[in-house]
Structure 1
Amino acid sequence: MLRTVPEDFEVTETLAFEPSGTGEHLYLFVEKRAITTGEAHRRLAEDFGVPRADVSYAGMKDRHAVARQWFSVRGPRDEADTRGPGLRVLRQARHPRKLRRGQLRSNRFRIRVRAVSGDVEPHLRGVASHGVPNYFGPQRFGVDGGNVAAARQWARAGRPRVPRFTRGVYLSSLRSFLFNEVLGRRVADGSWDTALAGEALVEGAPSGPLWGRGIPTSRDAALELESATAGAFPDIVDALEHVGLRQERRSLRLVPTDVSWSLEGDVLTFECVLPKGAYATSVLREVGAFRDAPGGTVRPGRAAA
């Protein structure tokens, strides 16, 4: 069982750079417990007395977790009352520029799984040595995949104006959905970690499309598989090609680093470092089927076994 308590799922960000120590933006390294990144964002804006547009963060983090992440606040104040439940400041430093999405090097995870059954160690060794399919995790798609359903309705309605944040959620969920569909086909035929003819490699590994406008860089068998997959979802393809997004690629293989684990009775403690944009749930799905206490299941994949 995953996340019986928030402390069972810990994640700590590492920035892609070090704050300089001077500048108009105050960088805050905060610890949040059992609250969303959005809630922390709102509370920091209120505590510092600034518009929410003056508070930014590099990445979204799970609610049902203890997450240590960076925010930046524009303004002259160097401190504020952030003593409310679930949020505390661990470190702060100034920097000339605001923190932007994606300005992370990596995330370190420490995850405790309870009531483990069966022999999971061969799968853990496979994860450490060979990596896992680089699926976007279920967090990307909302409760029961609701973000994808809502995004497809929005696309079929002609993409009417919605709040900027909502539009971003829709587009990222549609892009991620298509990528996962391609990756799922590659896992099914055993080619997720083997280059096909015409493969567009990313850091030496097979890749899949993050759909958008432009000519795919894949060719031959790889392009044929991707096109056939995308062809089953013409509404998604049309939306992604007409909103200004450009074709990008994402590795099909995720290789965790600094992997370690321990088993005490039926409790597994697993630690690893993942690059930005990668999901710990994609790693855990290759180890076993673990029920997530707040709801949902990390389903078994076993591709890395």
Structure 2
Amino acid sequence: MEILEAARHGNKLRTGHLAGNRFALRVAGVPEDALPVVRERLERVSQTGVPHYFGAQRFGRGGQNLALAARWLLDGARPPRKPFHRKLQVSTLQSAMFNALLADRLRDGLFDAALDGDLMQKEESGGMFVSHDPADDARVKAFEISPTGPMFGAKMRWPEGEALAREEATLEAWGLSREALGQFKKVGAGTGRPYRVRVDEPSLAADADGLHLSFGLPSGAYATVVLRELLHADPT
């Protein structure tokens, strides 16, 4: 990647200020006959969304940030001295557990389906509510609402029913509990994150240089995850 130009803005970019990003990517080394397949996948994800995974870059080179977080939060090692590093490591562990829950939903065919007790997010307003209505499944399919997963923390809103059971099972599998989350509430209060994300205004073309992709994503979503869905390969 080559950065052609950079300039400073007069105001600092703070958390929550960024609405989204627009990506224009060239992918080299893709066979010419792959274009129809990639186009079909792009049309599908523009309707269903893509899994809202955290990309590998979230976890540091070789997963080192996750390893450091596990030593502190799971194995009882001394925490980092700097608050920034403590917050980073908590965020890394939260992200890994979110990814694990999302992978479980994909495995069980629940990516674009409503589960009893899901904490849903309204696509238009961002409002949250707990779902117990079977009719919500059709609203998920229509992309009116999306199920959310946890960025685990002591102050987050919890789901109910089967969705809650899944989250508590994941906590237990990682050696944590709801009560244990209080130990890092100052640097990781917790929140919800949709399990899927829209791909806005996608476009695809091909020439001798490869595939040319363009799409928009909201803040917090990873273009590398979209590429993985389209190419069925981990981009590096």
TM-score (norm 1): 0.62
User: How does 1:226-245 map onto structure 2 within 5 Å?
Assistant: 226-235=167-176, 240-244=181-185, 245=188
Q: Percent identity?
A: 37
User: How does 1:161-172 map onto structure 2 within 5 Å?
Assistant: 161-172=80-91
Judged with a 3 Å threshold, the aligned counterparts in structure 2 of structure 1 residues 88 and 225 are, in CA distance, closer, same or farther, namely closer
Structure-2 residue corresponding to 1:104: 18
Deviation at 1:246, TM superposition (A): 2.6
The structure 1 segments of at least 4 consecutive aligned residues displaced by more than 6 Å after TM superposition are: 236-239
Instruction: Tell me the distance in 1 between the aligned counterparts of 2:117 and 2:234.
Output: 39
Deviation at 1:140, TM superposition (A): 0.5
Instruction: Tell me the distance in 1 between the aligned counterparts of 2:177 and 2:168.
Output: 13
8 Å CA contact 2:205–2:212 kept in 1: the answer is: yes
8 Å CA contact 1:192–1:252 kept in 2: the answer is: yes
8 Å CA contact 1:116–1:266 kept in 2: the answer is: no
Q: Deviations over 1:50-82 (max 9, x none)?
A: xxxxxxxxxxxxxxxx6xxxxxxxxxxxxxxxx
Deviation at 1:216, TM superposition (A): 4.3
Task: Indicate yes or no: 2:206 matched with 1:263.
Answer: yes
Deviation at 1:190, TM superposition (A): 0.9
What runs of 5+ residues in structure 2 fail to find an aligned partner? 123-144
Instruction: Tell me the distance in 1 between the aligned counterparts of 2:232 and 2:208.
Output: 18
Structure-1 residue corresponding to 2:92: 173
8 Å CA contact 1:174–1:236 kept in 2: the answer is: no
Structure with the bigger percentage of strand: 1
TM-score (norm 2): 0.79
Q: Deviations over 1:143-162 (max 9, x none)?
A: 22221111111222344242
8 Å CA contact 1:211–1:241 kept in 2: the answer is: no
Number of equivalences: 207
User: How does 1:1-305 map onto structure 2 within 5 Å?
Assistant: 6-7=1-2, 33=3, 88-89=6-7, 92=9, 94=10, 98-117=12-31, 118=34, 119-155=37-73, 156-203=75-122, 204-214=145-155, 216-235=157-176, 240-244=181-185, 245-265=188-208, 267-290=210-233, 292=235, 296=236
Structure with the bigger percentage of helix: 2
Structure 2 SS opposite 1:195: coil
RMSD: 2.3
Judged with a 3 Å threshold, the aligned counterparts in structure 2 of structure 1 residues 148 and 88 are, in CA distance, closer, same or farther, namely same
Judged with a 3 Å threshold, the aligned counterparts in structure 2 of structure 1 residues 274 and 160 are, in CA distance, closer, same or farther, namely same
Instruction: Tell me the distance in 1 between the aligned counterparts of 2:165 and 2:234.
Output: 36
Instruction: Tell me the distance in 1 between the aligned counterparts of 2:178 and 2:70.
Output: 10
Most deviating of 252-261 and 238-247: 238-247
